[in-house]
Each structure stands twice: as structure tokens, then as C-alpha cells.
Amino acid sequence: MGLLTNKVERGELKPGDHIYTYRAVFAYSHHGVFVGGCKVVHFKPEHTLISPTLASSSSSSSVSELNDSSEAPCSKFPDCGYKQPKSGVVLSCLDCFLKKGSLYRFEYGVSSSIFLTRFRGGTCTTASSDPLQTVIHRAMHLLQNGFGNYDVFQNNCEDFALYCKTGLLILDKNGVGRSGQASSMIGAPLAALLSSPLTLLIPNPIGVATVTAGMYCVSRYATDIGVRNDVIKVPVEDLALNLGIKTLKKKRKAFDTSISR
């Protein structure tokens, strides 16, 4: 595992791996679950998607309204781009998922020390992955049933892949989601804000930068699904039935009660 990312070759992939690639000159990363056969299940905003079924049955004008300009039809796999209506979960071939970008594998079960050395969020977690067959089952089930509405902070592509790998959901829907990438976006400004008074106490700019970086890493670590205590394991069948937050809390209460006995 590299210091910043974990770049891999295609031949190293196993079905059930959580993979990602960078977009817009490393400005952000896009995540998905490799399900084998050169196919990836991933999650993205609905308005950038178009299904092969819709493309064959709709007029060209209506298709252009739904299809993002960067999404060209795949010439290799007829089922590339498959999705259910009004769903952001899509099946793509690996080439279309990567869009000529490099391939990286998300790491699970890393130690806290390794996690803190990975300065960029969205590359690893201290949480353990479930068996690969379970991961694939979740991804394929959600391809047919959806994963709710896309939200860049609370329900994005990394959140989708993390759920497929772990089955974990966060009880508090008012805070940041499972995504390490979203945590980084929030953690960096927060760390800078918290460390700003230290400029009066630490005249050395290097010292202030070091403290800021430390606060940033700690804030990221605190939101990692492997260490936070507001998560609960939810079967994918319940998730697909739009399990509400109240039901989640009841399940968590019942779980805590059973543990205390």
C-alpha cells in the first residue's frame, strides 16, 4: 500500500474489490465495486445517467436531456450503462468507469497509524470488509433496487462502495456520511479554523502547518466508519425497502440491549 494511494493493475483485481479512480486532475475520486467480468457497479447522480433500454426506446431529444456530454455509449459491452429507472446505481465496464484514468484499490482493515499517514481521504478505512461474495450480492441487489438520492456529503459514490463492503449505515443523518473524501472536504477547513488562534502562540509557520495537518488527520480519523459508534449493520434487503432512520435506531437500541444482557 502506497503512502498516498494504492494503485493496482487490472490483473490484480478480485470480484468484490472496492476500486476508485481520480477525475478532473485529481480534484476528486469516483468509487465503485468491481463485480468481475470487467464490470463495475457504482453510484452517481441520476441526471448524468442513461440506460441502454431508455436509449433504444426514447427519442434523441429526450435522451440528450438525461445523458451527460461526457457519457458516450460504450462500443464494447451492450449492457454497459445498465440501470433501473430513477436510480443512480449503474453497471459499467471497467474502461468506461476509469475514463482513461488510473486504477486504485481502496484498503480495508488498516491500522490507525496507517490511516493517519494517508493524508488524502477516500483511500482506506479501519473497518473490515465482509466476504467478497457478500459484497457482490449487495452491489448487484442495489443495482436492481437503488441506493436512494445522491448527496455529495451524505450519500455519494464512496458511501455506496463502503456500504457494499461493510453493510454499515450511520444513524445520525444530519452529519457527514461514511465517505472519507467528504470528511476531508469538511476536515481541512475545520482544522485550519481551529488552528488559526495558534498563530499567536506558535510564531513559526512550519509549526502551525504541522499542528493544522495533525488536526486535519484526527478529524478524518474521528469520522471513519471503523471507529465511530453511531453505525449499525443493515441487511441490503432492508436497505432496498427504504429502511427509515427511526427503524435503524430501534434496531440499534435492541442490539445494545442484547449486548448488555
Angle at 204 between CA 200 and CA 209, to 5 degrees: 90
Q: Is 18 a catalytic residue?
A: no
Among residues 30, 141, 164, 217, which one is catalytic?
30
Q: Catalytic residue at 137?
A: no
Residue of 42, 93, 96, 141 with catalytic role: 42
- Name residue 33's amino acid: V
Q: Which residues of 19-38 are buried (b: 16+ CB within 10 A; e: fewer)?
A: bbbbeeeeebbbbbbbbeeb
Residue with cell 426514447: 58
30 is catalytic: yes
The identity of residue 85, as a single letter, is: P
Determine which one of 93, 96, 157, 164 is catalytic.
Answer: 157
CA distances from 21 to 109, 123, 154, 223 (A): 20, 10, 20, 22
Could you list the active site residues?
A: 30, 42, 157
